[in-house]
Copies of this chain bind each other. A is one copy, B any other.
Amino acid sequence: MSVLENLPGRHCSIAASLEVVGDRWSLLAVREVSFGNHRFTEILEGTGAPRDRLAARLKALVAAGVLERRRYQDAPPRFGYHLTAAGKDLLPVLRALMAWGDRWVVDEPPVTLLHHDHELVSETVCATCQEPVRNRDVTRRANSPT
């Protein structure tokens, strides 16, 4: 909640999420780590971010609990970045963004996701009633008075 208080506009978890991962490089950094690129230089090249920005973002993501900085060698001390539980939980967001980009931005998907050994076609269902979620079936209820 505390994050929301200092935010302009509507109280909403979307705004709260964007406050954490809504900048230009964070989600790409998470993508790289999820692709198995744990080292600073790998993430640097994978994202294309400037070094200083990447260093700052990684620090912030560690502070936010999205990434974990783990020592993988002692002399000299070197660290790799790994997804925390919160970080792994971002993968559905990345898959949704990727599906959207595949459909509406790029001509041809540069990367295809595979589920077991067939192509992954994500569909969202409501866990309660097992029905596929269509936009028109979704409404919202505000919980806080503001």
Point out residues on A near B: beta carbons under 8 Å.
1-4, 7-20, 22-24, 27-28, 31-32, 35, 45-49, 65, 86, 88-116, 118-129, 131, 133, 135, 137-144
Contact of A14 among B13, B88, B101 (CB under 8 A): B101
Q: Helix, strand, loop or mixed for chain A's interface? A: mixed
A105 to B20, Cβ gap below 8 A? yes
B residues less than 8 Å from A116 (CB atoms): 129, 137
Question: Chain B nearest CB: distance from A51 CB in Å?
Answer: 12
Question: Chain B nearest CB: distance from A10 CB in Å?
Answer: 5
A120 to B133, Cβ gap below 8 A? yes
In the assembled complex, the Cα of A19 lies from the Cα of B110 at a distance in Å of: 15
In the complex, which residue of chain B has the Cβ closest to the Cβ of A107? B1
14 A-B residue contacts at CB 8 Å?
A8-B47, A8-B49, A12-B31, A14-B27, A20-B105, A86-B104, A108-B143, A108-B144, A110-B142, A112-B141, A115-B138, A118-B128, A120-B138, A125-B125
B127 to A16, Cβ gap below 8 A? no
Contact of A114 among B49, B94, B98, B139 (CB under 8 A): B139
9 more A-B residue pairs beyond the given contacts A12-B98, A110-B144, A118-B126, with a C-beta to C-beta distance below 8 A: A1-B107, A2-B107, A4-B106, A9-B49, A13-B110, A17-B97, A35-B140, A92-B133, A121-B126
